Amino acid sequence: MSSSGLGGLNKSPQGIVVGLVQLQNPDVATPEQLAAQTRRIVELIGKARRNNPSMDLVVFPEYMLHGLSMDTSDAIMCSLDGPEVAAFKAACIEHRIWGCFSIMERNPGGNPYNSGIIIDDKGEVQLYYRKLHPWVPVEPWEPGNLGVPVCIGPKGAKLSLIICHDGMFPEMAREAAYKGAEVILRTAGYTAPIRHAWKITNQSNAFQNLAQTASVCLCGSDGTFDSMGEGMFCDFDGTVMVEGSHRPDEIITCEMRPDLVREARIHWGVENNIYQFGHRGYVAVKGGAQDCPYTFMQDMVRGEYRLPWDDEVVVKDGTSCGFPKPERRYEG
């Protein structure tokens, strides 16, 4: 099994060193504050490079620019061709490092998207994702429509990004791994009540998919909400390799070993779950059963997903959190 390589200080030839920034939870309400927070992110990219010269990828949490206000004002929304992303591209080039960033993305056709991007050390966007599962009923973001993308990262590592609440659905990490992701990033703005679920899902997402996970939250208080930090790196057997504290702006680091992920996925027999999921009982029948015995999957494909207790569910829109009841249907 792999270790953290003393947080990446001892870097193996096949390893990639990832830094997770437990970013101080910001309070941003104006374009000026957005610009100031953009400058702060750029400063921390520089800190990451100075912190560990072997670092390949620095990951910032969800809401790194906007904080947890859920403000959808157009004046502080971002776009891929806007000044914020341009600043991050320039910083990645300057410091010769890959970066994972969060923006609340302007959407002329509806509510803004909660989006994430991975930028390489040449300043090019290699992954662009829109959060599929906003944290309802609290979050107002448009449901994502780009699927779960995977990109080739440093040293050929296959990376994917899921955002916060996404990671509570085992299907999200499974989709990332099914598309080849070896390291699954998870960025979040969670607060302390979610602490236990955060930990166990980061571990289970790794183990169930023979993947390594790297996950980080905002940290500290904005005067209203207290975020928890608690970045964590999990190995593909579900063990925690490195776990962060509650100290804002701390950067925790770990060496990830996608080569060992590949080895396990090829050579494991017992508990090679992502393979065995599609090859049920291959000892008894050649190649295993490759049907789809899951009613919920079949119903979802038909657009007929419905729980036995669907009519009894109380919270079905955002009115409890002050949002108007939506009338527009999702068009994909």
> What are 32-60's pLDDT values in tens digits?
999 999 999 999 999 999 999 999 999 99
Whether residue 148 lies inside any domain: the answer is yes
| Residue 195 within a domain | yes
325 C-beta neighbours (distance < 10 Å), count: 8
For the stretch 270-304, what's the b/e string if a residue is b when 16 or more beta carbons lie within 10 angstroms of its beta carbon? eeeebeeeeeeeeeeeeebeeeeeeeeeeeeeeee
Q: How many domains does the chain have?
A: 1
Q: Measuring CA to CA, which residue among 245, 263, 243 is closest to residue 253? A: 243
Give me the domain span that covers residue 248.
5-276
Contact between 198 and 135 (Cβ < 8 Å): no
pLDDT in tens, 221-238: 999 989 999 999 999 999
| Token output for 128 | 């662009």
The pLDDT of residue 1: 42
Pairwise CA distance, residues 100 & 62, whole Å = 10
* 328 part of a folded domain: no
Residues designated catalytic: 62, 131, 164
* pTM of full prediction above 0.95: yes
- 187: domain CATH number is 3.60.110.10
The pLDDT tens digits of the residues spanning 275-294 come to: 999 999 999 999 999 999 99
CA 269, chain centre distance (Å): 29
DSSP state of 285: S
**191 domain-assigned:** yes
Question: What is the pLDDT confidence band of residue 6, given thresholds at 50, 70 and 90?
Answer: confident
Residue 12 is assigned to a structural domain of this protein:
yes
Residues 314-332: pLDDT tens digits? 999 999 999 999 999 998 7
Q: Looking at the domain assignment, is residue 321 inside a domain? A: no
Alpha helical stretches, state H, 69-225: 83-95, 170-178, 195-207
**Mean pLDDT (whole number) for 142-158:** 98
